[in-house]
Structure 1
Amino acid sequence: MTAWDDVLPGRHGPIPVRRYQPQAAIAGPGRAAALVIWLHGGAFSHGGLDQLESHAVGLALAAAGHPVVAVDYRRVPPWSWWRRPRPGVLEGIRYPVPVEDVIDAVAALRREADDAGRELVLGGASAGACLAAAAALRLGAERGPRPDGLPLAYGTFHAALPPISRALRARIRGRHSLMQFRPSTVERMNRNYAGSPEAMEDPWAFPGGHDLSGMPPTLVLDADRDSLRASGDAFVAELGKAGVDVTNEIVPESVHGFLDRPGTPAFERGIGRAIRWLDRH
């Protein structure tokens, strides 16, 4: 397996990526392994290609036979867990710049995948999962070069955190309540990304709660003890209502960000389930 840094063209300028090429592609009879575009998390404002949630995932998927391109989309300015963003329009890089980087990467890599006879899969974790889903929804509406599948890990898909079920609340009690995403935290994070009150309602910013008809087959891989699973649970129900082929799996005894912790049981279980889904689809 080899890995190297590269760039892709984008409307906002070059997009840094890291490519992971397996030694041998593993696939079913008569087809090549899918090309995976992978998006790290980081609350829309942190992370990068060296982040383990990007690099370790790229290595693991390539070791399983899938070529991977990890995308370093443009990130918004840092935000505060405690202070609300000021009202009005926020300056600097905000929505839709990050998701347009993803869309431009899909357009460039769709051609590569087609030339190689591969399907193209777009996936991500946490904020990256939101960007992947939003890009797929927008590409479908604009009849663009859509991905063939969406593997999404512990994503935040809604502008506001949906209600937390009784069952989930039982999993995040006591010591597990520390460092959970609360509704006010999600509102601050998402408002910082959106940049304006109007963008908070935009389905291409936060696809959750909107019509998801026509989305490609989707894996929603969630953490057992993660309040953001409320968004994953709601998104799964919305995908099913829209007639989308959706698979929902919960990694037991895991917390948010388990793909950022290679070598742990949760990482191994989660990446294993993602690889099995990729190989089936």
Structure 2
Amino acid sequence: MVIRSLLTIQGTLHSLDEIRLWIENRNRSIHVSISPVPFSSLDHWSQDEDGTLRHSSGRFFSIEGIRVETDYGSLSSWTQPIINQPEVGYLGILTKEFNGVLYFLMQAKIEPGNVNCVQISPTLQATKSNYSQIHKGKQPLYLDYFVNASPDQIILDQLQSEQGARFLRKRNRNIIIKVEEDVEEHDDFRWMTLGQIKELMRYDNMVNMDTRTVLSGLKISDYLSLADDMSRLSVFGKDLLLSSVTNHCHSTISEHLSWLSSLKSRYDLKVHPFPLRKMTDWRYWPVKYPVRMENTLKWLV
């Protein structure tokens, strides 16, 4: 099922050219204006005496300061801003079989930080604050499929950490489910095979990071069968599949796990709250003006 989807690029519900044109048209037709504004002019956001930035609801996220201490590497301690979002978000992809081929329902999603505004994203990409409608907006499309998914529908279900340098212990639920019933294809969504998504990854700024993250959890070798036609794979593709199923490894899984466990027990990493206003090597301007905090990252606050 998954392998057939990986091998199917032609003769699909939507051709590669149609999908690329769809994304290009979305980028042309959606007009976005992004302008810096003073943090003090934002609705429902404020800054406390330590400099922490937070929403009046206590939800979404806050930008806080931390001090890090470690005995790993050459730098033993530092201070930095970090995004604190103690919620488990959804990164979910809905799949359905058409004519014996598994299709993935992908979204043309706009993000204000994207270079080209619209990119191919998971069916559902939402924090708990967003899908709980704390912002008073609409509920994300297809949310109910994931909230009500039964065990027999689940292809992949993992909790994965967000980027630890930017987020404080943030996790997402990466989930892929398969449904049998008819699913409406809304304007900002298209059915694609896994092979098509992989092909589209060849283009810059076409497939977003969250899509890549979710699909990377699929262990393709688990879905191999004698009915699959491997002749359509490239030499490199065949080598990848062989690598995923071979038992002739340089190190065993037990050896890898032991190596990781020894590293975790050998080194310490301590993270403490630290006022944003008191951080060294960072510059701060009062909130009545547009504010920047500069080091390796830039923030608009």
Instruction: Please tell me the TM-score bracket, short chain as reference.
Output: under 0.3
- Pick 1 or 2: higher relative contact order, CA cutoff 8 A, min separation 6: 2
Larger Rg computed on CA atoms? 2
State the TM-score, normalizing by the size of structure 1.
Answer: 0.24
Higher helix share: 1
Higher strand share: 2
State the TM-score, normalizing by the size of structure 2.
Answer: 0.23
